Amino acid sequence: QVQLVESGGGLVQAGGSLRLSCAASGRTFSTYGMGWFRQAPGKEREFVAGISGSGGITYYTGSMKGRFTISRDNAKNTVYLQMNSLQPLDTAVYYCAATTYYGGSRILSEYPYWGQGTQVTVSS
């Protein structure tokens, strides 16, 4: 079991940056692949970025690559999402999630553990 708590969301102007954090409970954090997802109003939840248990493998949805960076600090049981050059279309609730697949996954249903989400709003 792992519990996840996101933080770092807020209101930012277009072109700005935010760093989201996700703190995890438990002593086996490094064995979990981690992912960030987002859900905009009226839309389905979509994959944003994933990272392997060691942090050595990262991957992104195409539109986020180059703007967003996922990382993790296993000593702090925390995964991060650095978001740069934010645009109004990035407005959504952002969720972190944990999977027992060590390499992580792009597939929402493969993540049994979810945080409560943090709101990111980008104004034009």
pLDDT digits (tens, 9 = 90+) for 33-71: 999 999 999 999 999 999 999 999 999 998 888 999 999
d(CA 11, CA 18): 9
Beta strand segments in 8-109, E: 10-13, 18-24, 33-39, 46-51, 58-60, 68-73, 78-83, 92-99
CA 122 to chain centre: 17
Q: At 11, is the pLDDT very low, low, confident or very high (cuts 50, 70, 90)? A: very high
Res 2: pLDDT: 92
Res 92: pLDDT: 98
Classified as helix, coil or strand, 31 is helix
CA distances from 52 to 7, 16, 24, 33, 80 (A): 21, 27, 15, 5, 13
